[in-house]
Amino acid sequence: MKPIDLVIKIGSMALIQKDDGTLDFNVFQRLGDDLRPGMALVTSGATEIGRLDFIRRTGTELNGEPEQDKTDYAAQGQIILMDTYRRFVRPEYGIRQVLVEHTHFNDPQKREHILRLFMRAAEQGCIPIINYNDPVSDEENRKLELASRRLSGPVVECVDNDETAAVIASLVGARTLILLTTTEGIYLNLSDPATLVRDVSAADIAALRVKVEALKTHCEGASRTGANGARAKLDYALRAAENGSHVIIGHARHHIQSLLDGSVPCTHIGVEA
């Protein structure tokens, strides 16, 4: 079967224009032009897009239980998100929506089922577009299931789509994982563009862990409420590197090839070849 060599993840805020809360169609078009079979896209955005759509239609936000509101927004935004990708991905390529939950990666049979689905997509000229299945995920049940699974060993939580992307990169054996965001990468000082860290590499994983841990001490805050910020992004990047992927963290305004060839500013993380 044709392999998936590249996994790309894009965050919610990279898909939405900050000034007016509308979809950034330039980002969708650029990404749609770049995507090819043999790649897999992990996308955030359904919840925030659903929230913005609900506000436009009703003039108000939901005011129920936060977890229920998140579920309802995600269900409303998911169709908009996928319809927008379909508009911009090249017409000769199929796209296949894959909604995943933590259980798919903690169960060997489900994990194998998802892997085969991804590999068939690559072979059949299609691009998997993956998101966590928030519309049917119940937080309380998820916590109980994860607690039970932890009794027998490590578990995949999929607390956000950065983790989901790292897990999928490991699952398919991707050579590269790209995390698209609203910054050029990881900074020693977020308010000073000159402090962009362009390369975090080492001769082996042990040395890379030391470098990543040191870099995490410079990371503060997150781009939005509910996000885990650069520190968590580094944790998941390290996890992907431990499983053999080279990780690139960069701005969604850049083309994929420009990030891959290093012609634009970004952060590269991995073990030296």
Q: How does pLDDT run across 82-120, given as a tens digit for each residue?
A: 999 999 999 999 999 999 988 888 888 999 999 999 999
Q: Which domain holds residue 211?
A: 6-271
158, 102 Cβ separation under 8 angstroms? yes
Q: Does residue 204 lie in a domain region?
A: yes
pLDDT band at 146 (very low <50, low <70, confident <90, very high): low
| pLDDT for residue 175 is more than 50 | yes
Q: Does residue 163 lie in a domain region?
A: yes
Domain tally, the chain = 1
Q: Does residue 1 lie in a domain region?
A: no
Q: Does residue 156 lie in a domain region?
A: yes
Q: Does residue 32 lie in a domain region?
A: yes
62, 73 Cβ separation under 8 angstroms? yes
| pLDDT for residue 155 is more than 80 | no
Q: What is the pLDDT at residue 225?
A: 43
Q: What is the pLDDT at residue 228?
A: 53
Q: What is the pLDDT at residue 160?
A: 84
* DSSP tag of 193: G
How far apart, in whole angstroms, are the C-alpha atoms of residue 163 and residue 191? 26
How far apart, in whole angstroms, are the C-alpha atoms of residue 232 and residue 7? 18
Q: Is the pTM of this model over 0.85?
A: yes
Q: Any idea what the CATH number is for the domain that residue 162 is in?
A: 3.40.1160.10
- Average pLDDT for the chain: 90
| pLDDT for residue 223 is more than 90 | no
> Which tops the pLDDT comparison, 223 or 145?
145
Q: What is the pLDDT at residue 31?
A: 97
Q: Does residue 223 lie in a domain region?
A: yes
